[in-house]
Amino acid sequence: MATEPYTGFIQRYNMMIGVLTCALITSVLFLVMPSGIFFMADMFLVMGCCIGLYLTFKNRKESQTHIKTGLIVGLTGSFLALLMISFFIWILYSLELGFNIIIFLEYILGFFLYYGIMYALVGIIVGYLFGNHYKKKEDPAKKTPYYKK
């Protein structure tokens, strides 16, 4: 495997920065205003995933495929956002009811089971859409002189 010629920190760790950006933006916005339209923090998740994926694709390496990168960053970022939001909810309810392992299992695992599928679907859909968009945007067939619109 050849070494990558990228020396910048952002280019070297673009997927990790995208995942962390997705999770942090979603969690911080949820802390500011804990709400949602269809499920808890849904619009914040979409916004966080879009910003994280934009940063990832802005600094994408040539060896990274578009759709695979989008799916990995979208799914991992949404999972990490779900984990951070569930810990916030557990701490919030534990302050009210007291720290207990039963409360931990009830709220963390219940939150994961109830919202996990929706968060994963949003992460996969947004990641696929971004990957497909950037794949079409950087399509080498459009750069040939024989390409007709």
48 with 37: CB under 8 angstroms? no
Q: What is the pLDDT of residue 87?
A: 84
* Torsion angle defined by CA atoms of residues 75, 76, 82 and 84, in that order, rounded to the nearest 10 degrees: -160
Q: Exposed, middle or buried: residue 48 (CB in 10 Å: 0-12, 13-18, 19+)?
A: buried
Mean pLDDT of 107-124: 85
Average pLDDT, the chain: 84
Reported as a pLDDT band with limits 50, 70 and 90, residue 60 is confident
Q: What is the pLDDT of residue 147?
A: 57
Q: What is the pLDDT of residue 74?
A: 94
Specify the long-range contacts of residues 30-36, CB closer than 8 Å, at least 24 apart.
30/85, 30/88, 31/88
Reported as a pLDDT band with limits 50, 70 and 90, residue 104 is confident
Mean pLDDT of 24-42: 86
Reported as a pLDDT band with limits 50, 70 and 90, residue 148 is low
Q: What is the pLDDT of residue 4?
A: 60
Mean pLDDT of 52-76: 91
Mean pLDDT of 106-114: 78
Q: Can you give the residue ranges of every domain in the chain?
A: 13-135
Considering only residues 38 and 32, tell me which one the structure prediction assigns the higher pLDDT.
32
d(C-alpha 140, C-alpha 94), whole Å:
54
